[in-house]
Amino acid sequence: KAGVTQTPRYLIKTRGQQVTLSCSPISGHRSVSWYQQTPGQGLQFLFEYFSETQRNKGNFPGRFSGRQFSNSRSEMNVSTLELGDSALYLCASSNTGVGGTEAFFGQGTRLTVV
Amino acid sequence: GNSVTQMEGPVTLSEEAFLTINCTYTATGYPSLFWYVQYPGEGLQLLLKATKADDKGSNKGFEATYRKETTSFHLEKGSVQVSDSAVYFCALISQAGTALIFGKGTTLSVSS
């Protein structure tokens, strides 16, 4: 079956702009999580959605937001972009999203803020 | 809070050498433990996992044993190949948790 699909793969934005990233999970998966990967901070959890509800949120400013649609597809939005938002953004999907359930990752969206 | 510490890299080995990447964790209760691998320009792939103490996860020649007494989950492989060159991440998730907590990653470079 098809894996997790993230679009676009690459983005270049200017400081102050906003950006929307998209994630299509594996068919049947209801949990979608987002992570930010940077050389300095490593992989950090942004938020997790299950059946259109945000169940968990990491320690990121309110400029980072997300949502999940009824078909489980998810989007994350970053407003008022800063240079430090440059990162690889990874999306993961799983059946339940809880505990030892395996999470499947997409290839990521590489965001560059200039 | 929960955390994962893994050995700093890079780790440079010759083909067929033995590999160990150390990983220790801090967590309450009984988390599940994972090793993920990331190849250049790619996302994360699950390499192996263990969900309870003394479980051994294994895949593609890699192994790791969940040691609760030492709070460790060290990754081992008996004979590495050039194709194993990648970044390896140790991670945990609590029993009822929905967020993976990752170590900083260890870069492995294998030469022929």
| Maximum Cα interatomic distance, chain A, rounded to a whole number of Å | 39
| A56 Cβ under 8 Å from any chain B Cβ | yes
Q: Which DSSP category does A62 fall into?
A: T
pLDDT tens for B40-51 read: 888 999 999 999
The pLDDT of A49-61, averaged and rounded, is 95
Please give the Cα distance from B55 to B62 (Å, whole number).
Answer: 14
CA–CA min distance B33, chain A (Å): 8
Instruction: Identify the burial level of B54 via C-beta atoms within 10 angstroms of its C-beta, where 0-12 means exposed, 13-18 middle and 19 or more buried.
Output: exposed
CA contacts within 13 A on the Cβ side of A72: 20
Residues of A in contact with B89 (CB under 8 A): 43
Please give the Cα distance from B24 to A86 (Å, whole number).
Answer: 29
Question: Can you give the pLDDT at residue A101?
Answer: 84
Q: Per the CB < 8 Å rule, is A50 touching B98? A: yes
Characterise A95 by phi-psi region: left (phi > 0), alpha (psi -120 to 50), beta (else): alpha
Residues of A in contact with B27 (CB under 8 A): none
Question: Can you give the pLDDT at residue A100?
Answer: 78
Q: Look up tokens 């997300």; give the residue.
A: A66
Residue A83 — φ and ψ, nearest 5°? -55, -35
Residues of A in contact with B95 (CB under 8 A): 99
In the three-class reduction of DSSP (H, G, I as helix; E, B as strand; rest coil), residue B84 is classed as: helix
- pLDDT of A6 over the 80 cut: yes
Closest CA to B64 of B103, B36, B102, B105: B36
Closest CA to A9 of A103, A112, A102, A99: A112
Question: Which is more confident, B98 or A17?
Answer: A17
Of B44, B91, B99, the CB nearest to A58: B99
Question: Can you give the pLDDT at residue A86?
Answer: 98
The model's confidence at residue A1, banded by pLDDT at 50, 70 and 90, is low
pLDDT tens for A86-107 read: 999 999 999 987 877 889 999 9
The pLDDT of B80-104, averaged and rounded, is 94
